[in-house]
Every structure is written in C-alpha cells, then in structure tokens.
C-alpha cells in the first residue's frame, strides 16, 4: 500500500486526487514493470513551475538585482545539488517506486522528485499551492543572501586567484529529521570558519561567506 498519508504529512499538502501523488513517485522502471504512468512528464512540468516560482520570488525580493545576478542565483537554487538537498531534508527519497536495485538510482533521479512533487501539487491545487510548497521546502532552506551571491563559488574563485587549493568543508546534522539544523566548517589557507543553516548547502554557504570575509580583512 502506497503511504499517501506519510508523504502528505512530510510535504505539507493533502491531495484531492491521490493518483497524482502516486504518479509523482513512480519511476519509469517501475511503470515499465508493473504498469501505470511514470513521473517523467511531471518532471518536465515541475521544472517549469519551479523556475517560475523562483523567478517571481527573486523579482519581488531583490528589487535592485540585475538580470545576470538573478539568473546565476536561480541556477544555484534549482540545480541538481540544491534539489537533492531539499528532497533529503524532506525525507521522501525512500518512497520512490523503482524496479530493480535502488543502488542504481542516481542523484538526478532523486533530485527530480522535488520537481515531480511540485508538478503534482500544481495539478491538484493550482499555482498558489505549488508556490507555497516550493517556498517552504526549497527556497526557505537556503540563506537569502546566497540568491544574489554564491559564497562557495566566490571563495573558490578567490583561492584559485591566489594559486591556492580549494576549500574543504565538514558538515554535521543536528536535531530531528523534520526540523534539522546543519553546522558546517570550512578550511582554507590555514584558517577556518563556521556556519549554520536549515540545509547542508545553506550551512556551507554561510561558512564560506564568513571565511571569505575574514580572508579579505587579512589581505587589507
């Protein structure tokens, strides 16, 4: 029996049409073996909805940001790693229906669950419901400052310009699965700084921003 209620509790949305939720979690291998609709079309639709939600969110929040800055920020927010973090923070990876070994399920397949769930909510409850989901479990897991500046990328570029090695990150998770806090430490040039956030990515971005700020102080 597919655990509709468990998933709905985790994603904060109750479906009127439960079949949409089932489809969102049905991988093509499972559909090919057991029948039913796979989630590939939902992934396509969900990507479009996600892009719109993020773009609208940026447009409203960052009044002075130019197109290039917002484009880079959007790419960071909807990239595979960001969506993978969001899916794992939600704890919904285990519900993906696949045929064969789960060891063969790659990061792209897991990260796309965020897009398929977004699409399912959009189809069931409309744009407003989908936007609420994306903002709560996608955007709100990332420090707002990282939308207009990629601190990890900036730190790596700063070190490369000095001919130094890339930074090293250590991250740990504290608290319950439904309300985790991540703590990250970044090491470079014999120094270290810490950061925290509601996701691994947010914590690492925070740590990177803190270290970059301190390194620039020393250089001055």
- Long-range contacts of residues 24-31, Cβ cutoff 8 Å, at least 24 apart: 24/113, 24/116, 24/117, 24/119, 24/120, 25/92, 25/95, 25/96, 25/97, 25/113, 25/116, 26/97, 27/96, 27/97, 27/98, 27/99, 27/105, 27/109, 29/98, 29/99, 29/100, 30/97, 30/98, 30/99
Query: 46 with 86: CB under 8 angstroms?
Result: no
DSSP of 161-182: HTTPPPPEEEEEEES-TTS-EE
**Annotated catalytic residue 93:** no
Rounded distance, CA 123 to CA 111, Å? 20
Looking at 23, 47, 89, 204, which residue is catalytic? Answer: 47
Looking at 23, 43, 85, 115, which residue is catalytic? Answer: 115
Residue for token pair 């120094």: 191
Among candidate residues 204, 209, 199, the one with its CA nearest the CA of residue 174: 199
Residue 63 neighbours by CB under 8 Å, 6+ apart: none
Gyration radius from the chain CA atoms: 19
**Annotated catalytic residue 47:** yes
- Enzyme catalytic residues: 47, 115
């Amino acid at each position: 029996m597919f655990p509709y209620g468990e998933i709905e509790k985790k994603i904060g949305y109750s479906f009127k049409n439960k079949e949409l939720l089932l489809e969102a979690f049905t991988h093509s291998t499972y559909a090919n073996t057991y029948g039913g609709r796979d989630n590939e079309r939902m992934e396509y639709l969900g990507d479009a909805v996600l892009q719109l939600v993020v773009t609208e969110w940026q447009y409203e929040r960052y009044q002075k940001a130019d197109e290039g800055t917002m484009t880079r920020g959007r790419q960071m927010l909807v990239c595979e790693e960001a969506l993978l973090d969001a899916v794992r923070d939600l704890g919904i990876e285990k519900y993906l229906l696949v045929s064969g070994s789960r060891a063969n399920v790659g990061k792209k397949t897991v990260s796309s669950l965020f897009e398929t769930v977004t699409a399912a909510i959009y189809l069931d409850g409309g744009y407003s419901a989908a936007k609420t989901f994306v903002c709560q479990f996608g955007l709100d897991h990332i420090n707002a400052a990282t939308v207009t500046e990629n601190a990890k990328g900036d730190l790596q570029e700063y070190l490369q310009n000095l001919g130094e090695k890339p930074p090293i990150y250590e991250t740990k998770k504290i608290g319950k699965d439904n309300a985790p806090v991540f703590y990250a430490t970044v090491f470079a040039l014999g120094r270290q700084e810490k950061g925290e956030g509601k996701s691994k990515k947010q914590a690492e971005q925070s740590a990177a921003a803190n270290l970059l700020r301190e390194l620039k102080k020393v250089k001055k």
